[in-house]
Structure 1
């Protein structure tokens, strides 16, 4: 009753002054003043940045008030692409830019229920699955693949480690534009071996990060050929494009193209087993793993880590800069992970990020899709006390799953007691992992050195 009284009082209190101030009858008021009223009348504390509210005028200001403060804040802030988030305490909110990539748990559940209503049989699902695959390719702008440059990769000398080798590579994916990375192989290659793509997330130091070096080396010791490669406009990529362009939508496209080109190259080796191809990445690398599992049918096993969620869609244009999640009337990363069915997939989640609800919310939805198929394998390893990384416990789960489904020797990373043992792995200095020299001095003279030039090159390539 109190909230309703507040609601009507606020309208009446400001009604007279609103009319006096607005000859066009829009009842406009400064947003800053409206938010002060909300603080006072609803007894809440708002954390506001002046840059977000200064000079902004809200039309029909107090007509937007409702009995519930959160609904009121939503009505008041939406015209300015702002939103209110709980701020570490009861009746406290933080005002910030609208997060297109975030949902509440309730909204996530509503979305999953809505998506589930679209199919109740295997046939209905497969029809949507096919449409999603095609739509995602179009959204990423790779439904018509650009011609691959007719050039050999630039390779450094092979470095011999304990049970594996490392070799750096720069592969030309478009004329003048390179993706750089490091290839990890078993020290001794007998017969055909699996290939595993290890895309990066937004962890510190990119592909030079300790955890991703360890992950790739561990897979190589187990018997796979693994590759660790730069995000767009990270690592050696910054020699060609400004780091700020990582937040361009083209980043999403180029990163997908990088993975496809690298897989083309790795599977060209006579010892590469094209029936045993895996992908695994954490955070943004998890988003990319899900995307690639939709785009490239060659992938046989997928382990997206600390990413699959109905309440978080990525947030970086390199993950969601293209309209992937608008496909087929709307989708999300959970349904897109389902597109990989019935192939083996492991979802690794934890209690310290947006994957905290996976066991109760997202995984049952994913399992429902997999249940349309006989003997399809989908698993979830949830680590409730862990946080957002690709640390030892996540690697442990991934190693076991990859070993089982790619036929790898997990004794190379676990001791006789079954405990993780990565002590034989060397974490290298970042300069050792570079292709173009410590300061980029070996970058080819013909290399693109501008994002605008790259964008034009891509447009030209897909137009042919």
Structure 2
């Protein structure tokens, strides 16, 4: 029987990066902001696949092909970030500079030609006529112009390629920036970016580019002529996204200047600017705020950043004022120009870097002409420095390498004592807290709205809806209360929702009846999208059919169902006496979200009986599967979720005669091996009820 779903706010439109306002409301106190910043920073690291941080290789860069100019030199650079994967770019150095100089990292965005950008005559004429550019040479080659001027000011500048641009051709442009069913490789053993297997491991172009930025920073900071305490970062468009990401995950940059990306509107339309979980409950203004109280300069244009002067910047000013540094945030509102990193934006950036990096260049700072580099003078690869292998196999090998690093880190976190379990909970539990994004409701935010009640010979049946004012959930619910209740309650969770307590003839299952006979109440509900079949989850309407554009902004169905289980647990505790115990019996394919609820639910749940049916996230074949949870494989799959519940009493079915090793490790670490029981056989629900009554008489 299909039951009518109650009005649930989550059934409304999905959050869309182009159709949603990503507002930032600064906290009222410094302590609140510090706590919030830690949460958001962890979210960025988890989303980027950098929680825990991968090991950084020694920055053994190859530097060659020096070109000598009037006040600066330019060299070709490549360095290894992940094994076999290279960051490429050009290093600009001031001539005649003494001592350690400030350094500036220059990531760039989706500009035509990337590092080799050169406007044609028609575009250059438009740029000059509008005042967007001032000089012909710099106007034609704005990325070179930025680097040249910073070097002339006395900075050591590294401009490096984003994936698929410039000399970074190991992974194809289309695989990163124009993904389609034709470019995405998705199989259990060979997978590329945007595949189900990559998302299950938090592997994304955004993550690789962010790690590349960190490795570029490692190298720049290691140069003998660079002061590692005076390093700035600036980029425009998706180069600004990379600027924001580096500032969020790494404490070393001293000054930041993202251009045309800090906005309450569109957050970054390419898959490479998004990652699953990245902007759930946050946005670019708050991501920029993570840089506070260090100097943050910005520029906006006549694009999605046009309203930053009234939406976003005032909130950043409030935060910096709260932190006692009101002069360290600035916005150049240049809405007379379209999307850009033009002369006007650069002219706002130079004095900001000059001031806060203590460069000492005389002001006003005005660009002047320079002799541009040819493509050959910029290209890193040549006969003596041949380009590394490229193609789909290289992309797949990179992701296998990253996976191997992650699995080695996970193995090192297997808990063997109380300290090890605490670290496992901090890292793995901290990751699942981000990916599940559950906020514990207050008692006043949960209520059971009863619609009708009916008396049966040995129990009373109450039907209605559990309502959460915190997340808008409305769960069609049935409560079975025995006549002689001793206060405990079982949440009976099944993929069929509230119908999961009944057999094919409409009667109660034997296990349910036995619980009632022994004085235990039973609660069942339709979790999100239950009560009707759901074989494929919704996705946002975007040109690229990739998970980050949906789940970068929205929680997964599994995460919301896990929240529903915890909402029911909170409601049960409110319905019954404070001393009542709340247990969960999970059958019928509900194991993934019940295990997730148990991992993050703390003391809301006293014990869990769960029939896993051998489920593993790694076996999923689509990110639109309702059981999909990004990062689940990276962080230990279903066994890790179960392990995080230690030392809570646990009955496992579907796993054979012995619990998974990670579960055994976690329970042994707390000397709670006896709290784990195994149950084989088809009649799990009946056996689970018996186990529960034996262990909680």
Answer yes or no: same fold by TM over 0.5.
Answer: yes
Match of 1:245 among 136, 151, 175: 175
Aligned with 2:266: secondary structure? coil
Distance of 1:370 and 1:296 partners within structure 2: 19
Among 251, 275, 287, the residue aligned to 2:229: 275
Where 1:156 maps in the other structure, the secondary structure is: strand
Aligned with 2:324 (options 364, 371, 374)? 374
Shift of 1:419: 6.7
Q: Distance in 2 between matches of 1:421 and 1:313?
A: 31
Deviation (angstroms), 1:174: 1.2
Secondary structure of the equivalent of 2:81? strand
Q: Distance in 1 between matches of 2:171 and 2:359?
A: 38
Within 5 Å, give how 1:302-313 maps onto structure 2.
302-313=256-267
CA contact (8 A) 2:222 2:228 kept: no
Counterpart of 1:462 (choices 406, 415, 418) is 406
Q: Does residue 202 of structure 1 match 2:110?
A: yes
Q: How does 1:112-127 map to 2 (within 5 A)?
A: 112=23, 115-116=24-25, 119-127=27-35
Q: Which runs of 5+ in 2 are unaligned?
A: 3-10, 118-140, 178-192, 195-203, 409-697
Which residue in 2 is equivalent to 1:426?
371
| Counterpart for residue 225 of structure 1 | 156
Deviations 1:354-404 (A, max 9, x none): 111011111111111111111341011111211111111111000011011
Give secondary structure in 2 for the equivalent of 1:450: helix
Question: How far apart are 1:441 and its partner, in Å?
Answer: 7.5
Matched residues in 2 for 1:158 and 1:189: separation?
A: 17
> Which contiguous aligned blocks of 4+ residues in structure 1 show a shift greater than 3 angstroms?
148-151, 444-449
State the match for 2:345 in structure 1: 394
1:152 aligns with one of 60, 66, 72? 60
Alpha-carbon distance in structure 1 between the residues aligned to 2:389 and 2:260:
39
Aligned to 2:16: 100
Choose between structure 1 and 2: higher helix proportion. Answer: 1
The match for 2:272 is 318
C-alpha distance in structure 1 between counterparts of 2:223 and 2:27, whole Å: 41
> How far apart are the structure 1 equivalents of 2:59 and 2:32?
44
- Per the alignment, residue 437 of structure 1 pairs with 382
Q: Give the TM-score taking structure 1 as reference length.
A: 0.71
For 2:388 and 2:48, how far apart are their aligned partners in 1? Answer: 28
Relative to 1, partners in 2 of residues 1:405 and 1:100: Cα closer, same or farther, differing over 3 Å? same
CA distance in 2, matches of 1:124, 1:272: 36
Q: How does 1:269-418 map to 2 (within 5 A)?
A: 269-326=223-280, 330-350=281-301, 352-376=302-326, 377-411=328-362, 418=364
Deviations 1:52-90 (A, max 9, x none): xxxxxxxxxxxxxxxxxxxxxx98xx6xx9xxxxxxxxx
- Residues 307 and 444 (structure 1 numbering): CA distance in 2 closer, same or farther, change over 3 Å? closer
RMSD, aligned α-carbons: 2.5
- Decide whether the 8 Å contact of 1:102 with 1:312 is kept in 2: yes
2:89 aligned with 1:181, yes or no?
yes
1:452 alignment partner in structure 2: 396
8 Å CA contact 1:198, 1:279 repeated in 2: yes
Cα distance 1:396–1:322, how it changes in 2: closer, same or farther (>3 A)?
same
SS in 1 for 2:222: coil
In structure 1, distance between residues paired with 2:345 and 2:300: 8
- Equivalent residues, number: 352
- Secondary structure of the residue aligned to 1:195 is strand
Using the TM superposition, give the Cα deviation of residue 157 of structure 1 relative to its aligned residue in structure 2, in angstroms: 2.5
Cα 1:288/1:355, change in 2 over 3 Å: same
Change in Cα spacing, 1:441 to 1:379, as seen in structure 2 (3 Å) is closer
Instruction: Name the CA shift for 1:460/1:268 in 2 (closer, same or farther; >3 Å).
Output: same
Is the contact between residue 160 and residue 187 of structure 1 (CA under 8 Å) also seen in structure 2? Answer: no
Instruction: Please report the TM-score for the alignment, with normalisation by the length of structure 2.
Output: 0.48
Instruction: Give structure 1 stretches of 5+ with no counterpart.
Output: 1-23, 25-73, 82-98
Tell me, yes or no, if the aligned pair for 1:245 and 1:251 is still in contact at 8 Å: no
